[in-house]
A and B are shown apart, each in its own frame.
Chain A
């Protein structure tokens, strides 16, 4: 049988999605009541009065809730998901505004009605009286701290962190050359084509809650909602339906709506659904990227960086539910493939009266890479050296691996690179893009009046972030293999690649394997999908679980065939003696044999019943053994693993229109062992497009009063073809 691992096979997900048979959140719950929200039109205001009287007689209204109507832990602030000792002033919002609003879009009143049209009718008739307060918008206003977002947070500083490896200040002071750079990155946003959404059903008979939500972490939502509603975990199921993209924004949980919709469903005894619309996604989900950086770098005549001192200010928006993860990633991943003689980084995470800032693809790394690569370009320019040469001179060498950067990474563990060959990657990229011949190409274009430029950038990407993922593999008596892992999917092809792993490990054809992700009913222990971690984490857990199932299948079949387990193999779903294809037993039959029965449910099952034979001197299930062909395993690495890469681009600019045309874009990315090259390429295509969008088009534009000026696809420019 051909190995599946490494094959660019088409995705198993596609057939369903291409027929329109996908099931995204808003495709579910046609019988559910619909929720709509009254959201703050002010960036900062006190809520003086809420008058719902005009909405009560709107047809179809089932309930209207303001903060005063919330009870128990639902009335408490939302959780601070990732605490950190440096996060000294962590503040989170309430599910509905508790007397004060801190960004345009903050939910104030929830309306539940027969359908969304009627819910919005009622929401339109709710009068909220606000006392506007001065708003803090942008990094500079937050730093100036002339006004405060939260009166009890001095300087608007949520957290402040310094990390040092060596004495960077002294190294810079004694360096032959120094440069200072001020580098700013504007806000952007994940902007999946499907917004957020949640559907909840409270079963009044079994007193259990079932939630479907468009999330990157079903187990996280389950734990958070169970805690808020005072329910046992065992009484809450969270199911991730098809998710229409996420790119980070859906790792945040629980959203206000993810608490309120289940709470209302339980209270009303009716299913309730909320589907975020596009403008809500712009103003009321999350953004990322906005940071100002000051760099001081000291280097020698050859361009070797002796000391690097980076200070930056991170705009975390109105609240900080996801903690300091984004600026921590900037501050650590900034170093990329380089080894400055000494490094010092210091950041402050600042509150502003804008929507929350949480990870968006890269999660702080794009800012760090931007800062480092601009710095290296500036060093090269100052010395008149080739930018590629300066990079090369500052690279960590392959023989220095594993390399300890002397910092603490986002997983709370030492930042130790496990592997990487940066000089080889750069050499390959230079050949691909034609780096050495570019000067001639540029001159030739110039002679025709065309302006070409070339850029390159290097990065190291921490992935395989813990704490763990797990998986369960079970062989059904039909021979079908059911695989479950707890993390979620939002378009990365997990069903395909995880099935490829199982196909090889267990020796079964792809068509017999079904993979379930993000369903707490199928697997209840998981972290979530973020930081490109699925292949490393769930991929490894799935492989281990499949190996356990394989060992069990071989043991059971070997006993039935009176053969030694080490002489057995599984191929094409048949367990048999190596080199003797006739000897084989179908895996489904082995599953039957593994489960001693009293009752036969079909003809095949008769072989496992108690009068069918077996050793009368031994218990039917041996001590320490279990019925069934199953494997369950967890993968929990000591710390993150590190991918790396180099990109180069040749662009043509039009000095009159400022139009930028990409002529050639080359990527060398070391992603380790490829499970499915076709899917890897697709992920890279998409990542490059988002990078181009971030560099050239996308900007979340708040005005000085905190009104979002471009909350539509007409005005927020994502890449189109």
Chain B
């Protein structure tokens, strides 16, 4: 049991609010959150960007993956306050400014890479980062890219196809390397 003064300190820490500045999908946002607010909850419930999903809250399933300064990161394993100043891309930010789907999104549609769609945002962000790093993956490398994400519906075969298809679409669009969607 914590002492009374420790309890009071804990209670205070639960309620003290911090300003967090983020650039989310290219838009500067500021939120006031308690220190313990998970980044996933901040995105979903404070910023109402509910495309990022929470499947396990312990960093295994990958559904909550977002791009943090371009790098795939599990938003359920991070506090919002620690992301202060970061540029974040969520699934909502993968779509092109003109509304067309990104190569990865389009590839999932082409290859029937999703069923219930709950894990999908995490796959899309993970693959987006993976292809930025390795634009021409072999099938084995495609599997490596998605090795840390769980899907219970598809059996993964069509997701692997979608990774390769996305690489093909990116090549056709002349996109190479980091930063490109």
Closest to A117 in B: B36
Q: Is A30 an interface residue (CB 8 A)?
A: yes
A622 lies within 8 A of chain B by Cβ: no
A17 engages B146 (CB within 8 Å): no
B116 touches A194 (CB 8 A): yes
Which B residues touch A278, using CB under 8 A? 55-58
A19 vs B124: C-alpha distance when bound (angstroms): 10
Assuming A20-B49, A685-B158, A714-B58, is B118 touching A245 (CB within 8 A)?
yes
List A contacts of B65 (CB < 8 A): none
B50, B57, B63, B108 pick with most chain A CB within 10 angstroms: B50
Pick from B14, B91, B149: contact of A121, CB under 8 Å: B14
B129 at the binding interface (Cβ < 8 Å)? no
Whether a CB of chain B sits under 8 angstroms from the CB of A13 is yes
User: What residues of A have a CB within 8 angstroms of the CB of B116 in the complex?
Assistant: 192-194, 242-245, 490-491
B101 contacts A689, C-beta separation under 8 Å? no
Q: Which residues of A contact B71 (CB under 8 A)?
A: none
Instruction: Please tell me if the beta carbons of A713 and B108 are within 8 angstroms of each other in the complex.
Output: no
Most chain B beta carbons < 10 A, residue from A18, A244, A687: A18
Contact with A along B27-68 (1 / 0, CB 8 A): 000000010110000001100111111111110110100000
B164 at the interface (CB under 8 A from A): no
A117 touches B117 (CB 8 A): no
> What secondary structure prevails in chain A residues at the interface with B?
loop
In the assembly, what is the distance between CA of A164 and CA of B160, in Å?
48
Instruction: Confirm or deny: A27 has a beta carbon within 8 angstroms of a beta carbon on chain B.
Output: yes
Q: Within 8 Å of chain B (Cβ to Cβ): is A341?
A: no
* CB nearest neighbor in A for B106: A18
The CA of A30 and the CA of B42, in the complex, are separated in Å by 12
The distance in angstroms between the C-alpha atoms of A13 and B113, with both chains bound, is 12
Is B159 within 8 A of A721, CB to CB? yes
Cα–Cα distance between A718 and B61 once the two chains are bound (Å):
10
Complex Cα–Cα for A444 and B152 (A) = 36
Which residue of the partner chain, among A27, A686, A712, contacts B50 with CB atoms under 8 Å? A27
Chain A residues with CB below 8 A from B57, complex form: 277-278
User: Contact at B109–A15, with CB atoms within 8 Å?
Assistant: yes
In whole Å, how far is B57's beta carbon from the nearest beta carbon of chain A? Answer: 6
Chain A proximity of B55: nearest CB distance (Å): 4
- Beyond A19-B101, A20-B50, whether A721 also contacts B114 by CB under 8 A is no
Docked-complex contact B118 and A192, CB < 8 angstroms = yes
Question: Could you tell me which residues of chain A, from 630 to 676, have a CB within 8 Å of some CB in chain B?
Answer: none
Verify A22–B55 contact, CB threshold 8 A: no
The residue among B57, B117, B156 with the most chain A CB atoms within 10 A of its own CB is: B117
Give A684-696 as 1s and 0s: 1 = Cβ < 8 Å from B's Cβ atoms. 0111111000000
A719 lies within 8 A of B49 (CB): no
Residue A720 at the chain B interface, CB threshold 8 Å: yes
Of chain B, the residue at the smallest CB distance from A10 is B109
Contact assessment for B61 and A18 in the assembled complex, using a CB-CB cutoff below 8 Å: no
A494 to B160, CA, bound (A): 24
A130 within 8 A of B: no
Indicate which residue in A15, A59, A193, A244 contacts B15 across the interface (CB closer than 8 Å): A59
A21 within 8 A of B: yes
How far does the Cβ of A684 sit from chain B's closest Cβ, in whole Å?
8
Query: Could you tell me which residues of chain A, from 355 to 376, have a CB within 8 Å of some CB in chain B?
Result: none
Residues on B with C-beta less than 8 A from A678 are 112
Complex CA distance for A719 and B156, rounded to whole angstroms: 9
Main secondary structure of the interface of B (DSSP, over half): loop
* A18-B105 CB under 8 A given contacts A27-B44, A27-B50, A244-B118: yes
Q: Using A13-B117, A30-B48, A243-B116 as known contacts, say yes or no to A193 and B151 having CB atoms under 8 A apart.
A: yes
- Cross-chain pair count, CB within 8 angstroms: 161
Given A27-B50, A194-B55 in contact, is the A685-B90 Cβ separation under 8 Å? no
> Roughly how many angstroms separate A21 CA and B52 CA in the complex, as a whole number?
10
Pick from A15, A20, A685, A688: contact of B52, CB below 8 A. A20
Of the candidates A18, A277, A718, which one forms a contact with B114 in the assembled complex, judged by CB atoms under 8 Å apart? A18
Q: Across the interface, name the chain B residue whose C-beta is closest to A676.
A: B112
Contacts A24-B118, A26-B54, A278-B55 hold; do A193 and B154 have CB atoms under 8 A apart? no
Q: Which residue of A lies closest to B115 (CB)?
A: A491
Q: Are B55 and A20 in contact, CB atoms less than 8 angstroms apart?
A: no
Q: How far is the CB of B99 from chain A (nearest CB, A)?
A: 9
Cα-based distance from A686 to B120 in the complex (angstroms): 15
Q: Decide if A22 touches B117 in the complex (CB within 8 Å).
A: yes
Cα distance, A22 to B90, chains bound together (Å): 14
In the complex, the answer to whether A18 meets B109 with C-beta atoms within 8 Å is: yes
Contacts of B174 in A (CB 8 A): none
User: For residues 96 through 120 of chain A, which have their beta carbon under 8 Å from a beta carbon of chain B?
Assistant: 115, 117
Q: Are the CB atoms of A712 and B58 closer together than 8 Å?
A: yes
How many Å from the CB of A71 to the closest CB on chain B? 32
**Interchain CB contact under 8 A, B155 and A18:** no
Q: A20 touching B51 by the CB < 8 A rule?
A: yes
| Chain B residue at minimum C-beta to C-beta distance from A684 | B155
- Confirm or deny: A493 has a beta carbon within 8 angstroms of a beta carbon on chain B: yes
- Interface bin, chain B: 35 or more
**Contacting A682 at CB < 8 Å: which of B115, B117, B150?**
B115
> In the complex, A103 Cα to B154 Cα: how many Å?
32
A277 to B116, CA, bound (A): 18
Inter-chain CA distance A720–B160, complex, in Å, is: 12
Q: Is the pair B159, A17 in contact by a Cβ cutoff of 8 Å?
A: no
Point out the residues of chain A lying under 8 angstroms from B124, CB to CB: 18
**Contact of A679 with B by CB under 8 A:** yes
Distance in angstroms between the alpha carbons of A27 and B50 in the assembled complex:
6
Which of B48, B51, B90, B147 meets A721, CB within 8 Å? B147
Knowing A20-B90, A278-B56 are in contact, say whether A686-B160 is a contact too (CB < 8 A). no
Q: Do B112 and A721 touch across chains, with their CB atoms under 8 A apart?
A: no
Instruction: Determine which of B53, B58, B90, B147 lies in contact with A194 in the assembled complex, contact meaning CB atoms within 8 Å.
Output: B53
Q: Is A14 an interface residue (CB 8 A)?
A: yes
A5 interface hit (Cβ, 8 Å): no
Q: Give B105's nearest chain A residue, CB to CB.
A: A18
Q: Is B130 located at the chain interface by the 8 A CB criterion?
A: no
Decide yes or no whether A247 CB sits under 8 A from chain B. Answer: yes
- Chain A residues near B36 (CB-CB < 8 A): 117
Contact partners of B51 in chain A: CB under 8 A: 19-22
Does A160 reach chain B (CB closer than 8 Å)?
no
B143 at interface by CB-CB < 8 Å:
yes
**C-alpha spacing A17/B92, complex, angstroms:** 10
B135 at the interface (CB under 8 A from A): no
In the bound complex, do residue B50 and residue A191 qualify as a contact, i.e. CB atoms below 8 Å apart?
Answer: no
A59: chain B residues at CB < 8 Å are: 15
User: With an 8 A cutoff between CB atoms, is A480 at the interface?
Assistant: no
Closest B residue by C-beta to A679: B112
Judge whether B21 is part of the interface by a CB distance below 8 angstroms: no
Assembled-state Cα–Cα distance A712/B150 (Å):
13
- The answer to whether A18 touches B108, judged by C-beta atoms less than 8 angstroms apart, is yes
A11 within 8 A of B: yes
Contacts of B149 in A (CB 8 A): 720-721
Q: Which of B48, B53, B115, B158 contacts A493 (CB 8 A)?
A: B115
B157 within 8 A of A: yes
With both beta carbons as reference points, the residue of chain B lying nearest to A13 in the complex is identified as B117
In the complex, given contacts A14-B108, A20-B94, what are 4 additional A-B residue pairs having Cβ atoms less than 8 angstroms apart?
A14-B117, A17-B117, A192-B118, A492-B115
Interface of A with B (CB < 8 Å)? 10-11, 13-15, 17-24, 26-27, 30, 59, 115, 117, 121, 191-194, 242-245, 247, 277-278, 490-493, 678-679, 681-683, 685-690, 712-714, 718-721
8 A-B residue pairs with Cβ-Cβ distance under 8 Å, sorted by A, are A14-B114, A18-B114, A19-B92, A20-B52, A193-B116, A245-B152, A718-B150, A721-B156
A-contacting residues of B (Cβ < 8 Å)? Answer: 14-15, 34, 36-37, 44-45, 48-58, 60-61, 63, 90-92, 94-95, 101, 105, 108-110, 112, 114-121, 124, 143, 146-160
- Sorted nearest first, the 7 A-B pairs with minimum C-beta distance are A20-B51, A244-B118, A491-B116, A689-B155, A17-B117, A27-B50, A20-B91
